[in-house]
């Protein structure tokens, strides 16, 4: 569904961007401010929805759409959409753990997608839409394993979780037009039919918990 709606955008983007995504070193992306910051990278289906929701949370400094987990350098969106590069659509989160915890971010992550669906989310089918958490060290891997177990035990999603755990080797930011895509294109057919309803559900639930930034409360 998403591929068919975006084929023209993909072609235009490739013509304009030339070499596709550019590598991003996680350490280079940390905010140059006095706040304590940490990062994590995960994928839960289409990154437009995931990115948009995480940017609404208190304590999240930035959520960036991109690609990770593949074997091809400098991937373009069109290449990733073929499912042959091994990449997943992911979001890199830079956050302040003094304001929002890793565990809270994981709660949001498992709220936004169905971790029991293998290589798909709804009508978006392919390994690029897989449920995956990329860890940067042993401690983060253990935290991710615990988060998966806690969510699975909660019974929110009936069935066995298929969320993949993998070491983060490189994060490639997606093309510029993907960043903040939903905010810029809320009436695009896929956004209005799929992304919009999920965001409204997210805002209602986490707004009531007091987790949203003030300008996101309505």
Q: Find where tokens 């990733």 sit.
A: 80
Q: Which two tokens stand for residue 72?
A: 């091809």
Q: Find where tokens 């300008």 sit.
A: 215
Distances (CA, A) of 50 to 59, 64, 106: 16, 10, 12
Whats the size of the chain, residue-wise? Answer: 218
Q: Is 46 a catalytic residue?
A: yes
DSSP-assigned letters across all residues of the chain: -HHHHHHHHHHHHHHHHSS----B-GGGGS--SSS--EEEEEEES-HHHHHHHHTTBTTEEEEEEEEES-SSSS--HHHHHTT-S--EEEEEEEE-TTTS-HHHHHHHHHHHS-TTSTTEETTEESGGG-EEEEESSHHHHHHHHHHHHHHHHHTSS-S----EEEE---EEEPPGGGTTHHHH-TTSHHIIIIIHHHHHHHHHHHHHTT-B-GGG--
Among candidate residues 10, 15, 46, 191, the one labeled active-site is 46
Hey, which residues are catalytic here? Answer: 46
């Amino acid at each position: 569904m998403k591929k068919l709606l975006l084929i023209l955008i993909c072609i235009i983007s490739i013509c304009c961007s030339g070499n596709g995504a550019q590598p991003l070193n996680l350490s280079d992306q940390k905010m140059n401010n006095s706040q304590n910051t940490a990062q994590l990278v995960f994928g839960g289906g289409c990154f437009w929805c995931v990115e948009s929701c995480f940017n609404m949370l208190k304590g999240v400094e930035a959520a960036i759409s991109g690609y990770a987990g593949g074997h091809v350098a400098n991937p373009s969106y069109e290449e990733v959409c073929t499912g042959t590069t091994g990449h997943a659509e992911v979001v890199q989160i830079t956050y302040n753990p003094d304001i929002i915890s890793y565990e809270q971010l994981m709660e949001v992550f498992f709220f936004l997608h169905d971790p029991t669906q293998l290589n798909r989310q709804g009508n978006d089918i392919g390994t690029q839409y897989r449920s995956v958490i990329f860890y940067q060290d042993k401690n983060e891997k253990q935290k991710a394993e615990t988060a998966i177990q806690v969510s699975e035990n909660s019974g929110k999603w009936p069935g066995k979780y298929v969320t993949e755990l993998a070491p983060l080797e490189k994060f490639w930011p997606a093309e510029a037009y993907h960043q903040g895509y939903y905010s810029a294109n809320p009436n695009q057919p896929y956004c209005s039919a799929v992304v919009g309803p999920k965001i409204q559900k997210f805002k209602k639930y986490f707004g009531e918990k007091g987790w949203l930034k003030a300008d996101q409360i309505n």
